[in-house]
């Protein structure tokens, strides 16, 4: 560093340069000159990212000026590309001898040996690289690295806010904050939404980056950390939260992060370089996130989420912002992740759709989104950092596309697509009251899945024959406490009253795995999908099942009650659970309590082992429902929530169809009542194959009933049955293409 004032003087000069009413290029040229002078460097250069992850030389002091806007390096190419790729500083005494060095003759950098490059980072994104060089061989001191990193952070903020560049003067850099962005993810709930961004956890806007008084900023930081720690301590002693078990352990671990001295010290050090308290929090947050992203460890990623949350809370303590925001009438929520209760808090009146970084097809937020009829796309890495409140956004839950700040032609295209969907819905509505009968006269029952009270109007709107799967656990998951017996009874009675004379199949609590009650104690498991869940919990904690059955019996007075037991692995499990149900029925009789006219108890076939016990099961169970999501996931040993393997198998693999065919044949031989409720049932091509295998009752999301009925009414069942039977003998990875060609040749409607 120069003896003339250190990093704080450099930051003040930077602020002055940014405020000048000159061209962007003149400000950049002046900036590199000031940095070079302040750091006693013979070269200072700024590289910014362009489309295609290309780094372009935008300004230099000490290199050949003719190289500006002409020298480009790909990410990972040369030392500059290495800094951008790793998001870490590179500090070398003899740069030309390093194997990563990429010689560019037009720059004239031959004489310069020492090299220090730092990433220009904001919000976990690398915007560019800031470099200083000298002829003499030397390693730059730690305080010099720190000073350059501080300047790079301020520069990143300016670039991200679009305040440094006049588009009329320069081609805009790739990462300009207001440029259009396209993301491709997984469509988890169909539909098209065009609206404006609402950030679920809005980033606190930091307007002031450079401190006027470092001592005052340190005092503000310490006071905010104190307030943050006090608020976390209050979580542990709050009588309202009543934290026990793992819930308390999570908050205690969170408290340790809040009291982490290394985290506090890194922020204090950043303030001492000349940043404000807010800018220091952001800098440390960005550095932590980048380190964790490079490691790729899922446990560390969870810890990074904790630090992200702490940083947001700390920024709110500093700025006084509450984080609450008003909802416009065309709101599309953007978030890293979200729980079902948080989604319900938004309501459905103004919300049009969801764009999430992290959610699985079977997660409860996805289930609730489908129930609410909201388009949802997930696996959108980086969208929460790129989106700003109020940005225009388009979400396509069918293709998985999300367009942030889209051009007008993109908006027009998706408006047209949305219009076509409305027309299709009108066609489905026209056949709502028509029977689901194939061209050769075979009747199919189409049931709908539900789990919340506001699902019930869909029963009439969709023309469903009844509710084939009512997920009772959602009532337990969206509340802050365990529902009382009276509350459960009233809820189930409301559902039955809304269904009228149509049947409702109530699945008992399917907890465990990814479905954890926020107020209950759960032990962490290595593989929760194969662990303590569903009927296993009910048998080990019988009071949970008994009270739920007691509520269902009381609510079903004068009706037929249908109870479905989830995740049954063998017949003995089913028999023990049914015995508990029978005891509750006998108790109600002895106490002369109201009870149903008939109780039918079924098993959900999700565990492959149960498929080989169907003859024995059919002697005890009144009906069986195939849960295709878990059944096929377990059959293929695939974790559907893991993006690396989730797409390695297809529902229309010959093994899938052969397994389901065996189940259908076994049920038929034993005169059993068989249905299927799972994602397969709601996809026309998959459903066509299921009908060909012999299934005659399917349960799906209400919005899928129209397309499935349209397919059924255009189908000759005899033809598809013989075709699917032949396909089961093939070795294809997927039979999807062959089935689609069959449908096209015969005019079967799949859309």
C-alpha span between 660 and 691 (Å, rounded): 11
Do 368 and 446 belong to one domain? no
Do 192 and 233 belong to one domain? no
Place of tokens 């905010």: 224
Note the pLDDT of residue 166: 43
In a domain, 393, yes or no: yes
Q: What is the pLDDT of residues 618-650, one digit of tens each?
A: 999 999 999 998 899 899 988 766 666 767 788
The winner for highest mean pLDDT among 160-169, 216-225, 336-345 is: 216-225
HSE-up (13 A, CA, CB side) for residue 636: 22
Mean pLDDT confidence for 429-454: 90
Q: What is the pLDDT of residues 421-435, one digit of tens each?
A: 777 777 788 888 899
Among this protein's residues, is 317 annotated catalytic? no
Do 254 and 144 belong to one domain? no
Which of the residue ranges 119-133, 144-158, 163-177 would you say has the lowest mean pLDDT? 163-177
Q: Is the pLDDT of residue 519 over 80?
A: no
Do 590 and 653 belong to one domain? yes
Do 395 and 463 belong to one domain? no
Do 469 and 589 belong to one domain? yes
Which of the residue ranges 130-134, 513-517, 668-672, 702-706 would you say has the lowest mean pLDDT? 513-517
Q: Is the pLDDT of residue 174 over 70?
A: no
C-alpha span between 84 and 91 (Å, rounded): 14
In a domain, 720, yes or no: no
Among this protein's residues, is 100 annotated catalytic? no
What CATH number is attached to the domain comprising 678? 3.20.20.60
Q: In what order do the strands lie in the sheet with 331-335?
A: 181-184, 401-404, 392-396, 192-199, 331-335, 351-356, 376-378, 186-189
Q: How many domains does the chain have?
A: 4
In a domain, 430, yes or no: no
C-alpha span between 377 and 396 (Å, rounded): 7
C-alpha span between 458 and 439 (Å, rounded): 27
Mean pLDDT confidence for 47-56: 82
Domain that holds residue 671: 442-703
Q: Is the pLDDT of residue 245 over 50?
A: no
Name the β-bridge partners of 355.
334, 377
Catalytic residue, from 364, 403, 458, 728: name it: 364
What percent of the chain has a predicted confidence (pLDDT) above 90? 40
Do 288 and 347 belong to one domain? no
Q: Is the pLDDT of residue 594 over 60?
A: yes
Q: How confident is the model at residue 451 (pLDDT cuts 50, 70, 90)?
A: confident
Do 152 and 68 belong to one domain? yes
Among 388, 407, 426, the domain boundary falls at 407
Do 271 and 342 belong to one domain? no
Do 186 and 249 belong to one domain? no
Note the pLDDT of residue 407: 81
> What is the chain's Cα-based Rg?
31
Mean pLDDT of the chain: 83
In a domain, 417, yes or no: no
In a domain, 739, yes or no: no
Q: Is the pLDDT of residue 441 over 90?
A: yes
Q: What is the pLDDT of residues 379-416, one digit of tens each?
A: 888 788 788 888 999 999 888 889 998 888 778 778 87
DSSP structure string for 478-539 = SSSSPPPHHHHHHHHHHHHHHHTTS-EEEEPP--BTTB--TTS-----SSGGGSS-THHHHH
Note the pLDDT of residue 201: 67
Do 403 and 531 belong to one domain? no
Do 528 and 616 belong to one domain? yes
């Amino acid at each position: 560093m120069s003896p003339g004032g250190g990093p704080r003087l450099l930051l003040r000069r930077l602020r002055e340069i940014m405020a000048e009413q000159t061209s962007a290029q003149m400000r950049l040229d002046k900036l590199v000159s000031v940095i070079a002078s302040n750091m006693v460097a013979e070269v200072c250069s700024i590289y910014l990212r362009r489309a295609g992850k290309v780094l372009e030389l935008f300004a230099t002091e000490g290199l050949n000026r003719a190289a500006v806007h002409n020298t480009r390096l790909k990410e990972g190419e040369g030392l500059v590309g290495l800094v951008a790729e790793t998001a870490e500083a590179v500090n070398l005494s003899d740069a030309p001898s390093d194997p990563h060095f990429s010689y560019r003759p037009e720059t004239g950098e031959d004489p310069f040996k020492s090299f220090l490059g730092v990433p220009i980072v904001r919000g976990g994104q690398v915007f560019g690289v800031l470099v200083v060089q000298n002829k003499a061989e030397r390693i730059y001191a730690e305080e010099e690295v720190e000073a350059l990193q501080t300047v790079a952070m301020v520069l990143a903020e300016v670039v991200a806010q679009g305040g440094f560049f006049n588009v009329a003067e320069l081609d805009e850099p790739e990462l300009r904050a207001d440029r259009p962005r396209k993301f491709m993810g997984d469509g988890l709930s169909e539909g098209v939404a065009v609206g404006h961004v609402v950030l679920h956890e809005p980033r606190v806007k930091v307007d002031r980056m450079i401190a006027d008084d470092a001592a005052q900023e340190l005092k503000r930081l310490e006071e905010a950390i104190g307030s943050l720690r006090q608020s976390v301590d209050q979580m542990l002693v709050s009588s309202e939260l009543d934290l026990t078990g793992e819930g308390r352990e999570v908050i205690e671990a969170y408290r340790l992060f809040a009291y982490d001295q290394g985290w506090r010290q890194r922020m204090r050090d950043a303030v001492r370089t000349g940043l404000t308290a807010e800018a220091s929090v952001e800098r440390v947050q960005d550095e932590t996130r980048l380190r964790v992203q490079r490691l790729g460890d899922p446990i560390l990623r969870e810890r990074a989420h904790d630090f992200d949350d702490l940083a947001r809370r700390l920024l709110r303590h500093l700025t006084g912002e509450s984080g609450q925001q008003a909802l416009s009438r065309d709101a599309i929520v953007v978030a890293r992740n979200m729980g079902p209760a948080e989604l319900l808090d938004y309501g459905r009146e103004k919300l049009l759709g969801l764009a999430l970084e992290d959610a699985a097809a079977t997660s409860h937020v996805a289930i609730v989104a489908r129930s609410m009829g909201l388009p949802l796309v997930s696996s959108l890495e980086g969208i929460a950092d790129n989106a700003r409140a109020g940005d225009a956004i388009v979400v396509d839950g069918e293709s998985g596309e999300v367009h942030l700040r889209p051009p007008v032609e993109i908006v027009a295209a998706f408006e047209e697509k949305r219009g076509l969907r409305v027309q299709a819905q009108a066609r489905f509505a026209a056949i709502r009251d028509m029977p689901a009968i194939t061209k050769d006269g075979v009747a199919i029952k189409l049931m709908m899945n539900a789990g919340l009270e506001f699902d019930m109007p869909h029963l009439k709107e969709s023309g469903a024959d009844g509710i084939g799967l009512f997920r009772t656990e959602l009532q337990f998951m969206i509340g802050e406490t365990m529902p009382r017996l009276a509350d459960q009874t009233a809820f189930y009675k409301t559902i039955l009253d809304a269904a009228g004379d149509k049947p409702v199949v109530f699945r008992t609590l399917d907890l465990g795995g990814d479905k954890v009650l926020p107020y209950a104690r759960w032990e962490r498991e290595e593989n929760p999908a194969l662990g303590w869940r569903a009927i296993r919990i009910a048998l080990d904690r019988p009071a949970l099942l008994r009270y739920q059955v007691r509520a269902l019996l009381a609510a079903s007075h004068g009706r037929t009650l249908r109870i479905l037991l989830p995740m049954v692995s063998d017949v003995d499990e089913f028999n023990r659970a049914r015995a508990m149900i029978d005891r509750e029925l006998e108790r109600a009789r002895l106490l002369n309590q109201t009870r149903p006219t008939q109780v039918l108890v079924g098993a959900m076939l999700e565990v492959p082992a149960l498929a080989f016990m169907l003859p024995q099961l059919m002697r005890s169970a009144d009906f069986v429902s195939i849960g295709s999501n878990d059944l096929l996931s377990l059959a293929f040993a695939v974790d559907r929530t893991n993006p690396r393997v989730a797409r390695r198998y297809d529902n229309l693999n010959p093994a899938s169809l052969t397994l389901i065919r065996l189940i259908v044949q076994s049920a038929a031989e034993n005169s059993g009542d068989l249905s299927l409720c799972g994602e397969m049932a709601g996809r026309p091509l998959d459903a066509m194959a299921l009908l060909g295998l012999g299934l005659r009752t399917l349960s799906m999301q209400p919005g899928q009933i129209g397309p499935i009925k349209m397919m059924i009414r255009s189908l000759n069942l005899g033809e598809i049955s013989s075709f699917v039977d032949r396909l089961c003998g093939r070795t294809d990875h997927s039979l999807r293409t062959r089935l689609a060609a069959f449908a096209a040749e015969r005019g079967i409607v799949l859309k």
